[in-house]
Amino acid sequence: MFDLVLLGIFLASVAGAFTMVSRRIPAVSAVPEGEIRQSLALNPPMLSKVAAFARPFLVRAKYENSVVRFLEKNLRRLRVWILKSDTFVSRTLVNLQERSRILAEKDPQYWQGLKDWKKEKMETVIPELPTPVAPPAKDRLESVQKLFQPKNEELIGEEDSGQKNLPE
């Protein structure tokens, strides 16, 4: 169902985009080509501006060397940082394994104790509920009758009036 909703939204957006483009095509085709070239010459697109700025750095060899050295230096630093973090994680895992082994040797029931602790923790969070079993018909009738019997507070008020309606 969720996929159908997403598909419907996607198709509606594609249809909307197609409608907007088809409405603008006559207006765009009516603009003379010379005006478009003149506009691009006065206001070049952003990609052309970036390419014009970067071209001297890429063409000249002296800038190329400094860019390559900068990239190489930073990539080497990144590699060293990644290797250091890998070493840290590996050492931490080895230390945890060693601790677990030592605790298991000290207390042979270590893992069983953890399992029992987890089971107790889960029982306190989600206590096991007894499965409901319907009482026999006679007990159900008595329990319904008890619901409709007056409580002791109600009996006290009735005793004052002189009427005694005690439950049987």
Contact between residue 59 and residue 67 where contact means Cβ atoms under 8 Å apart: no
First to last CA, the chain: 60
Decide if pLDDT at 76 tops 80: yes
- 168/162 Cα distance (integer angstroms): 18
The residue type at 55:
R
Q: Where are the domains of the chain?
A: 18-59, 61-122
Q: What percent of the chain has pLDDT over 90?
A: 26
Give dist(CA 87, CA 81) in Å, integer.
10
User: Which parts of 33-109 fold into alpha helices (H)?
Assistant: 33-42, 46-59, 61-106
The mean-pLDDT minimum among 7-21, 73-87, 132-146, 154-168 falls in 154-168
The structure tokens 């909307």 sit at 16
Give the pLDDT score at 126. Answer: 60
Collapsing DSSP states into helix, strand and coil, what is residue 109? Answer: coil
Q: Residue 140: what residue type?
A: R
**What is the DSSP track for 123-159?**
HHHSPPPPPP-PPPHHHHHHHHHHHHSPPHHHHHHHH
d(CA 84, CA 86): 5
Distance of CA 23 to the CA centre of its chain: 41
Write out the two tokens for 156. Answer: 């006290």
Model pLDDT for residues 114-147, shown as the tens digit of each residue: 788 888 877 666 656 666 666 566 666 777 777 7
User: For 7-26, how does the pLDDT look when each residue is reduced to its tens digit (9 = 90+)?
Assistant: 999 999 999 999 999 998 88
Angle between helices 61-106 and 46-59 (to 10 degrees): 100
Torsion angle defined by CA atoms of residues 118, 120, 121 and 126, in that order, rounded to the nearest 10 degrees: 120
Residue 151 has a pLDDT of: 65
> Residue 69 — very low, low, confident or very high, per pLDDT cuts 50/70/90?
confident
Output the pLDDT for position 122.
73
Specify the residue for token string 């989600």.
126
pTM of the model as a whole:
0.31
| Residue 159 scores a pLDDT above 60 | no
pLDDT in tens, 35-45: 877 776 677 67
pLDDT for the residue numbered 31: 82
